[in-house]
Structure 1
Amino acid sequence: MPPDVTDLADELFRSPLVAIGIPLALVGAIFLSLGAQFQHRGVTKVETRLGDGSRAGLSLRQVMHLFGRPSWVIGTVMLGLAVLFQLSSLGFAPLIVVQPIGVVALVVTAILNARVSRIRLDRRAIRAIVLCVGGVGAFVVVAAIFAVERRIDDRALIIVLGMLGVLTVIVAAVFLVVRRRSGALFAIIAAGSLFGFVATLAKVVINRVLGGQFDALTIVAIVALLTAAALGGYLVQTAYQLGSPDLVIAGLTVVDPLVAVLVGAFVLGEAALMPLPAALIGVAAGAVAVIGVVKLAKHHPQTHR
């Protein structure tokens, strides 16, 4: 039987430790937004200095120069702190409380970027941000309420690895073909999709290691996780080259959890107990969030400067 919402709420707020998890998650979201802003600044400076004007993705030379940009290094450290705070918050509060708080990063980044760029957010951009935040928040809440934890066997892990392999080949091939014509949206969607699999594999690896199941398949999963994370990280830097930091954060905070939840639902069986009405609400909320990202890409004030 699915959990009763009232009982779930009572369980969530019965423990005073939740009061620790919520501010930790908020701090993590702030570090995420600040890290995006600093990394974007570093990428922009490298592009201005070493770019050839094609804006076709960062070259190896540009990537190496990023490590010499203090702003980019500071942003990377802040993103590391964001991950640390997010993981710590999960130790004190349930996922249903912590996960939606990450969307705060989108709001903070949008405000920061508007102030830094001295661009006023117009009504269309604000509506797009509201759609992103509301859609992904509702989607994650519904998924967290009805999701069930299941043992991940070798068959499920092999399917996930196969899906990630196909996705990686498609992303790499498409990027090489359309890199001179693709905008920030492609890089964001591709990076978010890869990071969704990274989150799934991280969960699988942690469970297998804690369960004493460190075998050859686990090593393959670790290699695949690191490869996807590296490619996703490169695409994020490329997205900074092509778009604004709040657009990047908007895409990642929508696509990443969508992919992770879909893989968890249909491959790992975590939505086996989700009733049809809840599933329909989740699908609708996800669609609203995606529409918000598309609108933000089309109507962001920076695209009209």
Structure 2
Amino acid sequence: MLPPELSDLTDELIRSPFIVIGIPLALVGAVFLSLGAQFQHRGVSTVEANLGDGSKAGLSPRQLAHLLRRPSWLLGTLMLALAIVFQLTSLGFAPLIVVQPIGVVALVITAILNARLSRIRLDRKAIGAIAMSVGGVGVFVVVAATFAVEQRIDEGQLLTVLGILGVVTAVFGVLFAVRRKSAGAMFYIVGAGVLYGFVATLAKVVINRIVNGNFEWLTVLAIVALLASAALGGYFVQTAYSVGSPDLVIAGLTVVDPLVAVLIGVIVLGEATLIPLPAAILSVVAGAIAIVGVIRLAKHHPQTHR
């Protein structure tokens, strides 16, 4: 009989073809994410220009209502819905820490699209920042796809995720109330990224529990929390579009979102139990490089100097 570690590794190797299916699905989702962000940004910018008071204090109910009449915003919303469908499907085939970081591909597409549409040339610093983000996340995904494992998610793990989400939501709620009129794009980007990280995590938890026949009241509670987090994160994203560029928004989301999801996947869900120490160190370094890339992009994005 094989030791537990070797048994888990054997199961993972047998399951690896499914990871191969999950990765391209996540890539397609990233493309839709990029296109959706561009169209939504266009709609939000138009509404902000026509109805905004210049305070940048978050979208008002009136502005949100007008977004529903903007064809560009509706098209972007449809594309984001498709991105969610592909992401959720990919989560059914691959571990959370493999799928979630792949969204960084959206950063590259969005940066190129935004530069062309805005007739702004990406400078060397911006390109270098994008390369750091993509390279860092790329290395992380390769390591995760090689060693990550999925385990049955029990009630204790789900309650831990929900408890952390409750604390995080309360913190951002207080900060939003206090700093609504002074908060910049990065506040909303970080807030949305953190919430979306929990959305992806809860989606993975729900899929895992349903597959393992654990659909009960706690799973229903997870679905409710998922929808609430998605709604609040969506509001933060729309507000970020009104005060920042789409590629800056996507840059933040494609690092903050996976970072949160990966941390939960590693610490709470145990998806990194078989990653050897050298690979774990490489993953940490790669993740740090990606984060530095996003910070640099925030500082050197061409539109911030116009």
Q: TM-score normalised to the size of structure 1?
A: 0.89
Match of 2:229? 228
Q: Determine if the alignment matches structure 1 residue 66 to structure 2 residue 76.
A: no
Q: More deviation in 144-153 or 25-34?
A: 25-34
**SS of residue in 2 equivalent to 1:58:** coil
Structure 2 distance, partners of 1:42, 1:262, is 33
Question: Could you list the per-position Cα deviations for residues 90-110 of structure 1 after superposition, in whole angstroms to 9, with x for gaps in the alignment?
Answer: 678888986665322111110
**Is contact 1:193–1:259 with CA below 8 Å preserved after alignment?**
yes
**Letter of the structure 1 residue corresponding to residue 220 of structure 2:** I
Match of 1:297? 298
Match of 1:203? 204
Quote the offset at 1:43 in angstroms: 0.4
Question: Could you list the per-position Cα deviations for residues 226-245 of structure 1 after superposition, in whole angstroms to 9, with x for gaps in the alignment?
Answer: 11111111111111111111
**Letter of the structure 2 residue corresponding to residue 194 of structure 1:** L
Structure 2 distance, partners of 1:158, 1:218, is 10
Structure 2 distance, partners of 1:123, 1:83, is 32
In structure 2, the CA distance between the partners of 1:168 and 1:2, relative to structure 1 (3 Å rule), is: farther
**SS of residue in 2 equivalent to 1:272:** coil
Structure 2 distance, partners of 1:180, 1:265, is 36
Match of 1:217? 218
**SS of residue in 2 equivalent to 1:214:** coil
Quote the offset at 1:290 in angstroms: 1.0
**Is contact 2:22–2:90 with CA below 8 Å preserved after alignment?**
yes
Structure 2 distance, partners of 1:23, 1:203, is 17
Aligned pair count? 299
**Is contact 1:29–1:103 with CA below 8 Å preserved after alignment?**
yes
Q: Determine if the alignment matches structure 1 residue 151 to structure 2 residue 152.
A: yes
**Letter of the structure 2 residue corresponding to residue 263 of structure 1:** I
Question: Could you list the per-position Cα deviations for residues 213-271 of structure 1 after superposition, in whole angstroms to 9, with x for gaps in the alignment?
Answer: 22221222111111111111111111111111111111111111111111011111222
Quote the offset at 1:135 in angstroms: 1.3
Match of 1:182? 183
Structure 1 distance, partners of 2:203, 2:89, is 15
Quote the offset at 1:207 in angstroms: 2.1
Quote the offset at 1:59 in angstroms: 1.1
**Is contact 1:96–1:141 with CA below 8 Å preserved after alignment?**
no
Q: Determine if the alignment matches structure 1 residue 134 to structure 2 residue 162.
A: no
Is there any run of 5+ residues in structure 2 with no aligned partner, and where? none
Cα RMSD, aligned residues only = 2.7
Is there any run of 5+ residues in structure 1 with no aligned partner, and where? none
Match of 2:287? 286
Percent identical among aligned pairs is: 70
Matches within 5 A, 1:1-305: 1=5, 24-88=25-89, 101-305=102-306
**Letter of the structure 2 residue corresponding to residue 251 of structure 1:** G
Which stretches of structure 1, 4 residues or more, deviate above 6 A after TM superposition?
8-11, 90-98
**Letter of the structure 1 residue corresponding to residue 254 of structure 2:** T
Structure 1 distance, partners of 2:57, 2:238, is 12
